[in-house]
Structure 1
Amino acid sequence: MYLEDLTLKDFRNFDRVKVNFDSHINIFIGKNAQGKTNLLEAIYFLALTKSHRTSIDKELIKFNMKIAGIHGTLCKRNIRFDLKLLISNKGKKAWINRLEQKKLSNYLGTMNAILFSPEDLSLVKGSPAFRRRFMDLEFGQINGEYLYFLTRYRQVLQQRNTYLKQISSKKASDPIFLNVLTDQLAGLAAEVVHKRVLYLDLLKENAKKAYAFISDQKEILDIEYKASFPEFDEKDSVEKIYKKILLSFEHVKVNEMRLGTTLVGPHRDDLQVFINKKSAQEYASQGQQRSIVLSIKLAEIDLMHQILNEYPILLLDDVMSELDNIRQKNLLNYINGKTQTFITTTDINSISQEMIKIPRIFRIVSGTVSEEK
């Protein structure tokens, strides 16, 4: 798949701009705070209906404006899709081929994108919340069921936490209602965990191959799912996971009612990364961290192709300066001809000359876009 064009209206620092893209490599060049990353963010938002930089959608609307618009033409399996998103203080609306989608979940999955930014280095040594967000964003793109169970899980989790807070402050005390919420949450949690492990297994195999390629077979990468409940086995069925989570809820019940929050479940799970069986979180060098993240991103591309039979769009946000020439070359060799790629940079010289032989280059200055010939 590839994005043919993008039109923005009152998005971030852009008034109105339309850009036509190359189906292979596009480079956005310019000084900081001119709008390069905003342009990349708009493409990401068009795919996932959320930003990689903020969870508050109204921050995307240009100052003093009420609505921001993103409009693009996607080519997928030789079929064109007219995609449109409007963002306002009331929320966001989505259209596919001029038909408004009643639910955003109906829109998601039409366009797929993988983002690699400097913040992604937190995948190794950052917080568990960052790694959970990574799983939810990437696995949600390739499986509608995962997205459904995750959304339902979050809804019931919020209900249960609200009720636990009421119990904690002595405003409620109905054990039957708490048991109903607990049982519902355990069932949804089991589905989320099982699907995470399923897709992590596939991602892990691709990441291992990519890492071996990058490290010239000298090191072995491994990734494990770290559950927040005891005796978890990655081979467990949904039913087994459900029973183990339910048992864990029983063990932490008193603490949950005292603290007013849910202590067990996928919202507290994590990923563990290993290099040659040693914890990457503890021992990985800066270079190894970059190689791990690069391997995972390349694995995501292949996983999407495996499942969807379509390569996603690749967004590289100011990461070329983070990669040395060897890693840039490995990245280029891996994606060559597979994906439409968008790259932001302040310095064209930070990008390997091999990578910029036939790109389309755009200069961004104060929210304006001009193509360089």
Structure 2
Amino acid sequence: MHLTDLTLVNFRNYDEQTLRLSEHVNVFCGENGQGKTNALEAIALLAIGKSHRTAKDKDLVRWNQEQAVVDGVVEALHGPRRLRLELGASGRKAYVNRVQQTKMTDFVGHFQVVLFAPEDLQLVKGGPKERRRFIDVELGQTQPMYLHHLSNYTRTLAQRNKLLKNGITDDAYLASFDEQLAVYGAHVILRRLRFLTQLQPVAHQVYVDISEGREDFDFRYTSTVPRVSTELSIDDIAEQFARALADRRQMDLRMGYTTVGPHRDDIQLFLNGQDVQSFASQGQQRTIALSLRLAEIDFIYREIGEYPVLLLDDVLSELDDTRQRNLVLSMSRKVQTIITTTSLFHLEHELTSDARLFQVASGIITE
């Protein structure tokens, strides 16, 4: 899979820009604040349907303009796909092959990317929300039904929380929401468990390769729903979840929100058996984040039968270890890679002859 064409109209600091990309390596070079990251953000937007930098679409629209457009052509295993997003004050419109999609969940999944950015250190240093988002973005790109279940779960959770906040104590009424929440939540939990089970050996091996076997990296999913595992069925997990909701109902009423469920779950990260947040150095934390991202590439290939596009947002200069930089660059030999950088100094010896170089200055990209 690779992105062949990209068009931006009134997106961030871009007026109108059209690019033809190499199916191998593409490098966007320029000073900070010129629009390199904006271009990668637009590409990721076509895959994920959300910005990794802002939750507000208005931030994506160029100053004094009413609408931004991101349009791309993706060459995939089963033929080309044209993806288009129109973002404006009146909402967003999403198109696949010029057909408007009724829901964003129908748009996501036609294009897969793995984005590695400096902010990825928050995967390790940040709170549980960052790690849940990591799972949700990955599964959302490869398993459309996951987004369906997650959307239903989020909607039902909001309804239950509103009842709790308003002090509704009718057990039968709350139980009806508990039943729905437990079923949707069980699907979310089981898919997350299966995903991490597949990801773990790959991420572990990537870390071993980078650290030359000096350290052992591991992780596990920690759920607020007790005794869940990949060996259980959806019905089994839903039953466990419903029981946990019933047990915590009085606490939830006192707190005014739901205290148990996949919206409260986390991934625990370990290095040599010790908690990463407490014991790992900054360099070790960065290597863990890199290992998780590179493991995503293999997971996506196993899920859909083709490699995603790798987006590297000004991170190669951060990888001061030669093995880490070489490991990332080696991925470009099998996946389309799009890199942003302020200098070609650390890339000049690694780039192949078919790499395409772009200069970025004041929202204008030239080759």
TM category (shorter chain) comes to: over 0.9
Q: How much has 1:207 moved relative to structure 2?
A: 0.8
SS in 1 for 2:18: strand
Q: How much has 1:52 moved relative to structure 2?
A: 0.5
* Aligned match of 1:215: 211
The answer as to 2:181 corresponding to 1:197 is no
Q: Using the alignment, how far apart are the partners of 2:314 and 2:199 within structure 1? A: 24
Q: Using the alignment, how far apart are the partners of 2:214 and 2:233 within structure 1? A: 35
Q: Using the alignment, how far apart are the partners of 1:13 and 1:59 within structure 2? A: 10
Moved more, 187-196 or 244-253: 244-253
SS in 2 for 1:123: helix
Q: How much has 1:182 moved relative to structure 2?
A: 1.1
Equivalent position amino acid for 1:331 in 2: V
* Aligned match of 1:23: 23
Q: Using the alignment, how far apart are the partners of 1:76 and 1:55 within structure 2? A: 29
* Aligned match of 1:331: 328
Q: Using the alignment, how far apart are the partners of 1:350 and 1:163 within structure 2? A: 56
Alignment of 1:159-308 (within 5 A): 159-167=159-167, 172-308=168-304
TM-score normalised to structure 1 length: 0.94
- Deviation string 1:138-164 (CA, Å, 9 cap, x unpaired) is 111111111111110001001111111
Q: How much has 1:343 moved relative to structure 2?
A: 0.8
* Aligned match of 2:137: 137
Aligned in 2, Cα 1:326/1:183: closer, same or farther, shift over 3 Å?
same
Q: Using the alignment, how far apart are the partners of 1:146 and 1:233 within structure 2? A: 17
What is the number of residues matched between the two proteins? Answer: 366
The answer as to 2:90 corresponding to 1:93 is no
SS in 1 for 2:350: helix
Q: How much has 1:232 moved relative to structure 2?
A: 3.7
Q: How much has 1:35 moved relative to structure 2?
A: 0.6
SS in 1 for 2:10: strand
Q: Using the alignment, how far apart are the partners of 2:211 and 2:65 within structure 1? A: 49
Equivalent position amino acid for 2:328 in 1: L
Indicate if the aligned counterparts of 1:113 and 1:313 stay in contact, CA closer than 8 A: yes
TM-score normalised to structure 2 length: 0.96
Equivalent position amino acid for 2:149 in 1: F
Q: Using the alignment, how far apart are the partners of 1:281 and 1:207 within structure 2? A: 18
Q: How much has 1:238 moved relative to structure 2?
A: 2.2
* Aligned match of 1:365: 361
SS in 1 for 2:72: strand
Aligned in 2, Cα 1:206/1:255: closer, same or farther, shift over 3 Å?
same
* Aligned match of 1:105: 105
Q: Using the alignment, how far apart are the partners of 1:78 and 1:164 within structure 2? A: 48
Q: How much has 1:356 moved relative to structure 2?
A: 5.8
Q: Using the alignment, how far apart are the partners of 2:151 and 2:227 within structure 1? A: 26
Runs of 4+ residues over 4 Å off in structure 1 = none
Q: How much has 1:305 moved relative to structure 2?
A: 0.3
SS in 1 for 2:102: coil
Q: How much has 1:233 moved relative to structure 2?
A: 4.0
Indicate if the aligned counterparts of 1:207 and 1:299 stay in contact, CA closer than 8 A: yes
Q: How much has 1:341 moved relative to structure 2?
A: 0.7
The answer as to 2:79 corresponding to 1:79 is yes
* Aligned match of 1:353: 349
- Deviation string 1:24-61 (CA, Å, 9 cap, x unpaired) is 11111111111110011000111111101001112101
Alignment of 1:7-46 (within 5 A): 7-46=7-46
Q: How much has 1:99 moved relative to structure 2?
A: 1.5
Structure 1 residues without counterparts, runs of 5 or longer: none
SS in 2 for 1:353: coil
Equivalent position amino acid for 2:340 in 1: T
Moved more, 214-223 or 14-23: 214-223
Equivalent position amino acid for 1:326 in 2: R
Q: How much has 1:311 moved relative to structure 2?
A: 0.4
- Deviation string 1:311-338 (CA, Å, 9 cap, x unpaired) is 00111111111102221012222x1422
Indicate if the aligned counterparts of 1:94 and 1:101 stay in contact, CA closer than 8 A: yes
Indicate if the aligned counterparts of 1:211 and 1:295 stay in contact, CA closer than 8 A: yes
Indicate if the aligned counterparts of 1:116 and 1:297 stay in contact, CA closer than 8 A: yes
Equivalent position amino acid for 1:184 in 2: Q
The answer as to 2:308 corresponding to 1:312 is yes
SS in 2 for 1:14: coil
Aligned in 2, Cα 1:276/1:43: closer, same or farther, shift over 3 Å?
same
Indicate if the aligned counterparts of 2:11 and 2:69 stay in contact, CA closer than 8 A: yes
Structure 2 residues without counterparts, runs of 5 or longer: none
Indicate if the aligned counterparts of 2:27 and 2:341 stay in contact, CA closer than 8 A: yes
SS in 1 for 2:151: helix
Equivalent position amino acid for 2:300 in 1: M
Q: How much has 1:218 moved relative to structure 2?
A: 2.7
RMSD: 1.5
SS in 2 for 1:7: strand
Indicate if the aligned counterparts of 1:40 and 1:315 stay in contact, CA closer than 8 A: yes
